[in-house]
Amino acid sequence: MLIIGLTGGIACGKSTVSRRLKDKYKIPIVDADQIARDVVEPGTKVYQGIVNHFKDKIPGLLLDDGHLNRQMLGKYVFSHPEDLKALNDLTHPAIRYTMLREVLGYYVRGYSMCVLDVPLLFEGGLDAFCGVTISVVCENETQLERLQVRDITLSIEDARNRIKSQIPMEKRMDVSDYVLENDKSVVDLYQEIDKLMKKIKPTSLRTILEYFPPFGVVSAGAIVAAKYINGKPRYVKKIT
């Protein structure tokens, strides 16, 4: 099974790409954002860890129903890098475990591809387990404008802090196998997705072979080994 690592800067259009891959190409999506919400539900171990760490730092951390006030938590950690790291340390292990479980589930059900939709794909080292990585990018000013439209409660400073908390766009492009530029219309973006899928979609023969255990193990091992031996991808493959 081809694991596609999908990432992108905040408000660059990653979710639009993810929905297109699911709706048109019927590729199952492992959504890190949704998983991140699920693992901090009241009663979970992660939820209690967050409450213990932040309850004295963030007034109004909890809503009336006991759920985390994600808006307040996000605003605080994106302006306090050390606490952002603490939050990631609390949530990432549970998120990774749930993602792995979902990927294995799709493999067992016979899918030829699945998408890891992860904002921090490279930061978390999850690209090492992907056969292909795709980044969705756009110009900085476009990103800033979209972010403020998406969340009107964000000040310009808050929006910039959220963008700065991620790796620079140039670095993201350098370490990706493919880049989808999303500065134009949705129609243009869909056309770029269609071109890309023609390039990376596994053949039926390869899909069948990868479900034959010896070939599957060798194929997966070769992908992971290449990532570690060669480091990050050396160039961005053009979509033509």
For the chain, list the domains and their CATH numbers: 2-230 (3.40.50.300)
pLDDT band at 237 (very low <50, low <70, confident <90, very high): low
The average pLDDT across 150-156 equals 86
pLDDT digits (tens, 9 = 90+) for 32-47: 999 999 999 999 999 9
pLDDT band at 214 (very low <50, low <70, confident <90, very high): low
Whole-model pTM: value is 0.79
pLDDT at 233: 45
Of residues 223 and 126, the one with the higher pLDDT is 126
Of residues 27 and 155, the one with the higher pLDDT is 27
3-class secondary structure, 20: helix
DSSP 177: S
The average pLDDT across 117-124 equals 90
CA angle, residues 30, 37, 64, in degrees to nearest 5 = 160
Residue 178 to residue 119: CA distance in whole angstroms:
15
Residue 60 to residue 69: CA distance in whole angstroms:
7
Is there a contact between 4 and 118 (Cβ–Cβ < 8 Å)? no
Share of the chain above pLDDT 70, in %: 85
Asked if pLDDT for residue 111 goes beyond 50, the answer is: yes
CA angle, residues 139, 144, 147, in degrees to nearest 5 = 120
pLDDT at 177: 94
3-class secondary structure, 235: coil
